[in-house]
């Protein structure tokens, strides 16, 4: 996943997930802010994610949160712990489970672009993987 323009991401229709890092203390976070939430520094850098991570939680949405999404229910959403250390929410493919390694792509739901994660490997640290 590479941003097409510096700092643009899926919320502006660009196929990228972008997080921020603090130039002073090296903290990193997902939601865009003007200042570092750890040390207060105003020098932050937007960084595109590779879009790979591990599933923290997953659920199915059967009641659309907005009229324009009614045509797409049911769909699955997941919380993903990206390898860069930030947690993001995205749509998830069938079969994606907690602990799965996933890779992000994008899917268009009507006029909205959303991150879409599919399983890329085996479970990490899950009970099925502890043998
Ligand atoms: Zn900082």
Rg, C-alpha atoms of the chain: 16
Strands 52-61 and 75-82: antiparallel
Task: Answer yes or no: are the C-beta atoms of 19 and 47 closer than 8 Å.
Answer: yes
> pTM (2 decimals)?
0.83
Q: Please answer whether residues 20 and 46 qualify as being in contact, where contact means their C-beta atoms are separated by less than 8 angstroms.
A: yes
The tokens of 23 are what?
Answer: 């130039």
Q: Ligand 1 mean position to 26 CA, how many Å?
A: 6
Q: How far is the CA of 43 from the centre of ligand 1 (A)?
A: 8
CA of 74 to the centre of ligand 1 (A): 40
Distance 23 CA to ligand 1 centre (A): 7
Q: How far is the CA of 85 from the centre of ligand 1 (A)?
A: 15
Distance, in Å, from the CA atom of 62 to the CA atom of 119, rounded to the nearest integer, reads 22
28 CA to middle of ligand 1, Å? 8
- For residues 102 and 80, the answer to whether their CB atoms sit within 8 Å is yes
Per-residue pLDDT of the chain (131 residues; tens, 9 = 90+): 444 456 789 999 999 999 999 999 999 999 988 899 999 999 999 999 999 999 999 999 999 988 988 999 999 999 999 999 999 999 999 999 999 999 999 999 888 899 999 999 765 544 444 33
């Amino acid at each position: 996943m590479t941003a097409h323009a510096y700092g643009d991401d899926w919320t502006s229709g660009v196929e990228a997930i972008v997080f921020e890092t603090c130039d002073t203390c090296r903290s990193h976070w997902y939601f865009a802010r003007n200042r570092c939430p750890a040390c207060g520094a105003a020098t932050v850098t937007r960084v595109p994610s590779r879009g790979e991570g591990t599933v923290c939680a997953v659920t199915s949405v059967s009641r659309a949160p907005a009229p324009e999404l009614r045509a797409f229910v049911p769909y699955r959403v997941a919380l993903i712990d990206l390898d860069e250390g930030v947690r993001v929410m995205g749509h998830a493919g069938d079969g994606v489970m907690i602990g799965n390694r996933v890779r992000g792509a994008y899917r268009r739901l009507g006029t909205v672009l959303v991150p879409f994660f599919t399983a890329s490997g085996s479970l990490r640290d899950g009970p099925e993987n502890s043998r």
